[in-house]
């Protein structure tokens, strides 16, 4: 069984998304009083009116996003100005296995998710003719699907090539 903390964005990813003005009403949120006093809360907006807590230096509230929330926020395709006509990118997500090497114990297999935007066309000439081009140099990688998609959304919002 997955605990809810494994199914939503971490407090750190949620804070970064909030700092980029991404604030969607979600069923879960991080309630933060300090770096060491915080917790994940459930708030059914449809069942109860939201109580407004005045944010202060001692209290902050950040949406904790599920994969469904993040897929709703992420664009299906992104077109950038440079590299025409090979400038259209589609979202790509894979579940992978990472081998964590250990000198003491046996190697450990870890399931993780990787996401990026991939060019949907390519030139059929030159050394890179059959290489898949990625929009972002580094793909978003995390064991938590929500964190992986959250990192991708952060990249999308920070990239100056994307309007």
61-101 pLDDT, tens digit per residue, is 889 999 999 999 999 999 999 888 888 999 999 999 998 87
Mean pLDDT for the chain overall: 84
What's the rounded Cα separation, in Å, for the pair 87 and 122?
A: 9
Q: List 92's β-bridge partners, or say none.
A: 116
pLDDT higher than 50, residue 48? no
17's CB contacts (< 8 A; 6+ apart) are: 9, 23, 62, 63, 65, 150, 153, 154
pLDDT higher than 70, residue 120? yes
Q: What angle do CA 124, 126, 128 make, to 5 degrees?
A: 80
What's the rounded Cα separation, in Å, for the pair 80 and 74?
A: 15
4-22 pLDDT, tens digit per residue, is 888 999 999 999 999 999 9
- Contact indicator for 148, 141 with CB cutoff of 8 Å: yes
**Rounded average pLDDT over 99-117:** 87
Q: Given this model, what pLDDT does residue 129 score?
A: 61
């Amino acid at each position: 069984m997955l605990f809810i903390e494994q199914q939503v964005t971490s407090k750190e990813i949620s804070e970064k998304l909030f700092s980029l003005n991404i604030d969607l009403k979600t069923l879960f949120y991080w309630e933060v009083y300090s770096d060491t006093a915080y917790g994940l809360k459930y708030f059914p907006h449809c069942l109860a009116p939201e109580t407004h807590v005045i944010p202060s230096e001692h209290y902050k509230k950040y949406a904790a996003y599920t994969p469904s929330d993040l897929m709703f926020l992420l664009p299906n395709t992104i077109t950038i100005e440079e590299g025409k006509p090979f400038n259209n990118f589609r979202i790509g997500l894979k579940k992978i296995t990472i081998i964590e090497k250990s000198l003491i114990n046996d190697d450990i297999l870890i399931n993780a998710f990787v996401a990026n935007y991939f060019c949907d066309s390519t030139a059929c000439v030159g050394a890179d003719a059959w290489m898949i081009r990625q929009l972002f140099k580094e793909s978003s990688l995390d064991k938590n699907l929500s964190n992986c998609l959250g990192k991708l959304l952060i990249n999308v919002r920070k990239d100056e090539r994307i309007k």
